[in-house]
Chains A and B, each alone.
Chain A
Amino acid sequence: MTDLPLERGAKSLGLVIDLDTCVGCHACATNCKEWNTSGISAPLTDVNAYQAEQRGVWFNRVFTYEVGGQSANARTVHFPKNCLHCEKPDCVTVCPTGASYKRAEDGVVLIDHNKCIGCKLCSWACPYGAREYDEDVGVMKKCTLCIDKIYNENLPQADRVPACVATCPAKARHFGDFADPESNVSQLVRERGGFDLMPETGYRPTSKYLPPRAGRNGALTALAPVETQSPTGAFLRWVDRILTR
């Protein structure tokens, strides 16, 4: 049934994404594609892969925002976005087939590709744009939190983390159990003021984002525009006077 689980288990798995350290390199998106196009979600179809009008399925997409506009505090923020494995995921309850479900034991939101009819209604119900349609297979696909990696006993314990987390060179992505108050992710959220995306929608995302830190010395000092700087030294002032005439 696509009802949400009545009794949730002990775990609540998700990611913490650090908007302070993310450098926007797209390695998470690339490694996600690499792992998931060969795992249980395979294939992550690419149409027109080597020509114009490419269309493909990605579970993780990296946006870049300008924040603060023209102010002295203006900054560029790289913003990776994937499924947040919500506690109240309408994408699950709208599913007419039972293909979408939220696991009781760890809260991971998954799709059974053998049941999905490709009606796309779940993508309409997701505020975060996290579900994509695989036009070649005719079913919806989404981030599985690398379910076939995090529980994979054939891998060393250290590798049992989602592909995006394993590959991040800036350590901007953390994986853990939000139900455990002493887990790495819970501590990060507590210490750094982790927040929900679009809390007003009431989906209660499990995964959290960490805000950018203030600049190293607080706010950046505004630089004077180059053309208004007056020349220094007698010779340059004389040249400036001659040329300005």
Chain B
Amino acid sequence: METLLLWLVVAVALGFDYVNGFHDAANSIATIVSTRVLSPRWAVVWAATFNFVAFLVFGTHVADTIAKDVVLQDVLSIGVIFSGLVGAISLNLITFFLGLPTSSSHALVGGMAGAAVAKAGTHVLVVEGIRKIAVFIVLSPLLGLALAFVVFTVVMWVFHRSKKVDRLNRGFRRLQLVSAAAYSIGHGANDAQKTMGIILALLIAAGHLPKGADVPLWVVLAAHTAIAAGTLSGGWRIVKTMGSKITRLQPVGGFAAESAAAATLFFVSASGIPVSTTHTITGSIIGVGTAHRVSAVRWGVAGRVVWAWVLTIPIAAAIAAATYAVVAAF
């Protein structure tokens, strides 16, 4: 019975990864769609391919952080992880239908923390690990914003005397394919690893793996396949918010935003820090907007997004805690 439950929760975790890819497909492709470099259909194929390729580039540091640095491993059980996943998936679906680009990662961290606290109290939280994740909630968009501003300004400065604007735009449209691919690798590396971390925690909790074990290869492949499949299914509501409602982008702006976000994601993934890929690309798009002028950014939309960020962890934690209360009753 327990084995059946274990595989059921593994399936739910992979379902979360699928929803994550579906939810965040917009981030990978919003700029290439809004600058008309690729049609939406080809854009999702492009993004999904590089989501999958990510496992060849990065290790599993982020997965280790999720499995070991959010809550104490002793408290993890199939019920806790299932409840955490329910909290994260519910919030993802709610914000998807509201068209808000919130963070699947923070929903997951909030869900895990909420369910673990409901089971055993606040002392099971790993303060150091959660603090590192919390600090990078703020730092990752700031990093993306600064990098995008600098990249965009340098590119504009280098090419400002060029009178062949059409040729320049064509060149940057091609370069955007490279930057979108790099961003998709970063997205796959950071977001797929969160699911790997969840499955690793689950296998350790169920006694299938010893404490401190590495992520098995089948988990790595399954997580990347699920996120790529989710991206392939694509979600269009958030594409609109990301691609045009925050600030309007030209190919050069899209290239700068994606390159900056990709560089940020490469750095945090290599450092084992789970961040929100949504926050990072939003910061980068705002960076390009502020390089034009501050009024080019629609701050109302950006503010709505910030509110969604602030509420993600507490709401996911509350749903997960309520779910755990129901699970524990059985």
Q: Verify that A and B bind, or say they do not.
A: no
Residues of A within 8 A of B (CB): none
Residues of B within 8 A of A (CB): none
